[in-house]
Amino acid sequence: MKKLLLAASAAALLAGMWLAPAQAEYLKEHRGGTIRLLARSAAGTLDPHINYTDQGWQMYQPIYDGLVAFRKAEGMDGFTIVPDLAEALPEVTNDGKTFTFKLRKGIKFSDGKDLGVKDVVASFQRIFKVSGPTSGTFYAGIVGADKCLADTKSCTLEGGVVGDEAAGTITLNLTKPDAEILYKLALPHAVVLPADTPAEDMGSKPIPSTGAYMISAFDPNKGMTVTRNPNFKQWSEEAQPDGYPDVVQYDFGLSEEAAVTAIQNGEADWMFDALPSDRLGELGTKAMDQLHISPLSAWWYAPLNNRLAPFDNEKARQAVAYAIDRNTLVKLFGGKVLASPVCQVLPPDFPGHEDYCPFTKNPGTKWSAPDLDKAKQLVEESGTKGQKVTIIVEDTAISRSIGVYLQSVLTTIGYVADVKPISSNIQFTYIQNTNNKVQMSVTQWYKDYPAASDFLNILFSCASFREGSDASINIAGFCDKDIDAKMQKALDLGVTDQKAADKMWAEIDRQVTDKAPAVGLFTPKRLDFVSKRVGNFKFNRQFNWMITQSWVQ
Amino acid sequence: MSNQVAAMSRRTRGPWAVAFAKLARNRAAMASLAVFLLIVLACFSAPLYANWAGTDPFASTLDAVIQIDGADVAVMEQSTEGLGLGYTPIGPTWRLGNYFLGADSQGRDVMARMLYGGLSSLLISGAATIFTLILGTAAGLVAGYFGGITDTVLSRFLDVLWAFPIYLLAISLAIVTISQGISIGPIEIESGSLWLPVIIIGIVYVPYVARPIRGQVLSLRHSEFVLAAINLGVPGWRILWRDILPNITTTLIVFIPLMMALNMLTESALSFLSIGVQPPAASWGTIIQDGQALLYTRPLVALAPGLAIAISVMTLNVFGDGLRDALDPRSKVRLGRD
């Protein structure tokens, strides 16, 4: 592990050296101006330890820093971990359970205070004190986390996060080795905030930051203004590069239709929300140069409740997987340019992904066509024909369309199906709670970080299922002890041999897919529409478009 | 002589005949009735139309291909220029039985869905109107006739219902019942049933009927013929049934078209918000919702049902006004809070 990390950091250093002159040159020429972004609504709280949205995470990139970061680079390079506030990637000892970071010197927060070891230690404690949404999962392996989870207010993480002010080091102790800990530390939930940040959700109040930018104004009903951090001096171009625009103005409240028009007219530069489907044809023809299509590590899928009839029967689940025409779903999403059919859990180009599709006319590696005869036969064999199935979908145009299509598929193969759209604000939690007795639903999963476990272990492990809870992310209620044990083995193996672990994850992916606890529908792509003046568009696979790495003048 | 006969025959005509004659002379009301009946007829012919057109208005038909002037045309047209993004449903062909109003984003025939949608809207608003009239009349009769504590309790309950903004109340009831349905003792209504919007809309408008009815009953309660019946020992239920109810019938009749128009609007609003008629079933409200995502390329998908709602509601209101003028020109019946 240690050797691997050292090699990675050397490579990162070389890459940084190669990139530096080009960016410096461009910075002179294109630096300045205001980039205007639009979204239908704000992303919720400003607090980076709590916000758990794509929109928030994308905006935090030029603002906050952790000890390590995902490299601010285009494409798959964006999955690489690089040192950020730490001078280098950590020294790993104690059989992979202890990580020692040396903090960089001379970094200041946007309010002028110096960054110190105490800020790092306090930030780790704050993750638990504010009951961060991933405190019980991503960071539960830190020594002392169990006590913090039980009593958040008096969290000290004693023995878990140890700071040495004199040496400028922070030592992180884990209860057991975790191959994914650096990914978890590079997420916004683990960024370093000033030690005196109140241990409560800061809501609309900006927290001082170390990055190239800072939030200078925020009104959840109007917008957010992000300006340059006056105390920022670039220390690592690949972790926290300086940006081009002087100001990022993010306005909320405009509908998607109005946002498209604003961008076309040059009144705005980009919109967060998906483009309205009735504008795709026009934009794809008239504004080709302003569109950027990028792959996503995401999964649209239909969880089938493994604990409720008719989908407590494996054959009934497989029947649905055989019957669904993925091409139709791709059409509903906007066509092949914007989505690709899938059968399996792990998205393409993702660690552990090996093409696999058993639920198609010619089973093999790729989906080709639905097999309705096989589906009908399986429904007959399962003895579930004629049973009632309700599909719960989000009340959005695309989800409703998918729901209506799935309803007609289920009717075709012998079920009495209906579809219920419910508000997007509650659908995701509603379908997780077993009390709501949801038989089938349509939802999406976007990776937190590039590891197979972020899909397989989170969505299908026994531990992810919680009876009667709104936070039971194993929506299908799937629990297979053998597969669970294998996932644990793969996680352990990742500490010493990630390649071998990924091979194992590929096997787990196949096994989970075969059991059909959920039906894979398609892998979406991200379509970004920018104004004509936006230059240097770069899409990072981890956090999407790197806003401040584009210029507007 | 002939003038005398004519005058006598006029004297012998009953109040209903007079009212009907008056209504028949109201051209606007009769024209509205004719248009509304045409809409009703068209909507009730929905299954026949779908069968004749060979289309299933509830199933996704994204791969369907139709023939126009001998050429095959895909119902969902993929953009072939530029990046080839998105699919656009076929626009109106203006040929009955062949995607007359075009297709929606599921490739379904909008005309067939419009007719089915109208059928749902008419059935729900009609049934809700009957539901409201029965409950409202019962509450108004009992409160107005028996008075005292009965009147106080019923009136306060109606006041509470009245105090809620109608749409807020309807949306709240719909959200509570839409996913689980209603189960009260032996009465069980499954989620997704058309009876759910009927009951919800029926309940929220009860005060609109009950309050004016109560007012009328209160005044009838002190009229001489009712006092005489009470003094003769006629039972209360019999007085209500035989003496009071017939005297409020005209008001109730006037309520029918006006309530139906109001219910149609409410049903469309609830369905538009996904808490009325549930997909894949259609109502004019759900079709507008489907059309919302196609406003830019296929505006007719949203405009057509919107127009149908507007025409239906307008004809019902004009006819209702004519009916009120014909049956009871002194009536103060108005729907609304002032």
ipTM of the complex: 0.81
Chain A residues near residue B298 by CB distance under 8 angstroms: 278
Average pLDDT of A222-237? 96
Cα–Cα dist A190/B181, whole Å: 44
- When pLDDT is cut at 50, 70 and 90, the band that residue A385 belongs to is very high
Segment (H or E) for B199: helix B195-204
CA B153 vs CA A243, B160, B240: distances in Å: 69, 11, 19
pLDDT digits (tens, 9 = 90+) for B29-45: 999 999 999 999 999 99
For residue A546, count CB atoms less than 10 angstroms from its CB and return exposed for 0-12, middle for 13-18, buried for 19 or more: buried
- When pLDDT is cut at 50, 70 and 90, the band that residue B167 belongs to is confident
Q: Which of A404, A410, A412, A437 to mutate to test the interface with B (most CBs of B within 10 A)?
A: A404
CB A473 within 8 A of CB A303: no
Closest approach of chain A CAs to the CA of B81, in angstroms? 6
pLDDT digits (tens, 9 = 90+) for A288-347: 999 999 999 999 999 999 999 999 999 999 999 999 999 999 999 989 999 999 999 999
Is the Cβ of A337 closer than 8 Å to some Cβ of chain B?
yes
- When pLDDT is cut at 50, 70 and 90, the band that residue A143 belongs to is very high
Cα–Cα dist A368/B15, whole Å: 74
**Among A residues 350-379, those touching chain B with beta carbons less than 8 Å apart:** none
Number of Cα atoms under 13 Å in the Cβ half of residue A500: 9
pLDDT digits (tens, 9 = 90+) for A93-112: 999 999 999 999 999 999 99
Q: Which of B56, B75, B80, B83 to mutate to test the interface with A (most CBs of A within 10 A)?
A: B83
Closest approach of chain B CAs to the CA of A194, in angstroms? 44
Residues of chain B with pLDDT > 90, as a percent, come to 65
- What is residue A471's predicted lDDT score, i.e. its pLDDT? 82
pTM exceeding 0.80 = yes
Of B63, B82, B191, the CB nearest to A288: B82
Is the Cβ of A527 closer than 8 Å to some Cβ of chain B?
yes
- When pLDDT is cut at 50, 70 and 90, the band that residue A14 belongs to is very low
- What is residue A18's predicted lDDT score, i.e. its pLDDT? 46
Is the Cβ of A332 closer than 8 Å to some Cβ of chain B?
yes
pLDDT digits (tens, 9 = 90+) for A464-502: 998 888 889 999 999 999 999 999 999 999 999 999 999
- Long-range contact list for B62-69, CB < 8 A, 24+ apart? B62/A328, B62/A331, B62/A332, B62/A405, B62/B87, B62/B106, B62/B107, B63/A328, B63/B107, B64/B103, B64/B107, B66/B90, B66/B93, B66/B98, B66/B99, B67/B98, B68/B93, B68/B95, B68/B98
Average pLDDT, chain B: 89
Check A404 against B106: CB less than 8 A apart: yes
Check B296 against A282: CB less than 8 A apart: yes
Q: Which of A264, A278, A336, A415 to mutate to test the interface with B (most CBs of B within 10 A)?
A: A278
pLDDT digits (tens, 9 = 90+) for B119-147: 999 999 999 999 999 999 999 999 999 98
pLDDT digits (tens, 9 = 90+) for A288-297: 999 999 999 9
Closest approach of chain B CAs to the CA of A387, in angstroms? 15
Nearest CA in chain A to B278: A420
pLDDT value at B114 more than 90: yes
Average pLDDT of B199-208? 92
φ/ψ bin of B93: left (φ > 0), alpha (ψ from -120 to 50), beta (otherwise): alpha
Chain B residues interacting with chain A (CB cutoff of 8 angstroms): 58-60, 62-63, 76, 78-79, 81-88, 105-106, 178-179, 191-192, 274, 278-280, 292-298
- What is residue A500's predicted lDDT score, i.e. its pLDDT? 96
- What is residue A7's predicted lDDT score, i.e. its pLDDT? 43
As a dihedral over the C-alpha atoms of residue B32, residue B34, residue B37, residue B38, rounded to 10 degrees, the angle is -110
Of B79, B191, B293, the CB nearest to A397: B293
Check B279 against A276: CB less than 8 A apart: no
- When pLDDT is cut at 50, 70 and 90, the band that residue A15 belongs to is very low
Q: Which letter does DSSP use for residue A387 in this model?
A: -
- When pLDDT is cut at 50, 70 and 90, the band that residue B19 belongs to is confident
Is the Cβ of A219 closer than 8 Å to some Cβ of chain B?
no
pLDDT value at A5 more than 60: no
| DSSP assignment of A451-520 | -GGGTHHHHHSGGG--TT-TT---TT----HHHHHHHHHHHHHHHH-HHHHHHHHHHHHHHHHHH-SEEE
Q: Which letter does DSSP use for residue A438 in this model?
A: -
> How many CB contacts within 8 angstroms connect chain A with chain B?
115
- What is residue A529's predicted lDDT score, i.e. its pLDDT? 97
Chain B residues near residue A285 by CB distance under 8 angstroms: 79, 81-83
Average pLDDT, chain A: 93
Chain A residues near residue B86 by CB distance under 8 angstroms: 277-278, 280-281, 284, 334-335
Of B105, B191, B296, the CB nearest to A279: B296
pLDDT digits (tens, 9 = 90+) for B46-86: 999 999 999 999 988 888 999 988 899 999 988 888 888 88
Chain B residues near residue A334 by CB distance under 8 angstroms: 85-87
Helix and strand counts by DSSP (H, E) for chain B: 14, 6
Chain A residues near residue B106 by CB distance under 8 angstroms: 332, 401, 404-405
Q: Which of B56, B58, B60 to mutate to test the interface with A (most CBs of A within 10 A)?
A: B60
Check A293 against B83: CB less than 8 A apart: yes
Chain A residues near residue B300 by CB distance under 8 angstroms: none
Of B60, B82, B85, the CB nearest to A328: B60
- What is residue A439's predicted lDDT score, i.e. its pLDDT? 96
Closest approach of chain B CAs to the CA of A349, in angstroms? 23
- What is residue B338's predicted lDDT score, i.e. its pLDDT? 39
Closest approach of chain A CAs to the CA of B195, in angstroms? 16
Closest approach of chain B CAs to the CA of A428, in angstroms? 15
- What is residue B333's predicted lDDT score, i.e. its pLDDT? 53
Mode of pairing for the β-strands spanning A169-173 and A98-102:
antiparallel
Check A288 against B83: CB less than 8 A apart: yes
Check A285 against B82: CB less than 8 A apart: yes
Residues of chain B with pLDDT > 70, as a percent, come to 93
Q: For the ranges A19-28, A29-38, A502-511, which has the lowest average pLDDT?
A: A19-28
pLDDT value at A12 more than 50: no
Closest approach of chain A CAs to the CA of B175, in angstroms? 9
- What is residue B188's predicted lDDT score, i.e. its pLDDT? 81
pLDDT value at A10 more than 50: no
Chain B residues near residue A422 by CB distance under 8 angstroms: 178-179, 274
Cα–Cα dist B243/B267, whole Å: 35
Chain A residues near residue B79 by CB distance under 8 angstroms: 280-281, 284-285, 335
Check B86 against A401: CB less than 8 A apart: no
Segment (H or E) for A40: none
Instruction: Decide which of A27 and B330 is more confident.
Output: A27
Report the b/e string of B224-260 with b at 16+ CB within 10 A.
eebeebeeeeeeeeebbeebbbeebebbbbbbbbbbb
pLDDT value at B329 more than 60: no
Is the Cβ of A424 closer than 8 Å to some Cβ of chain B?
no
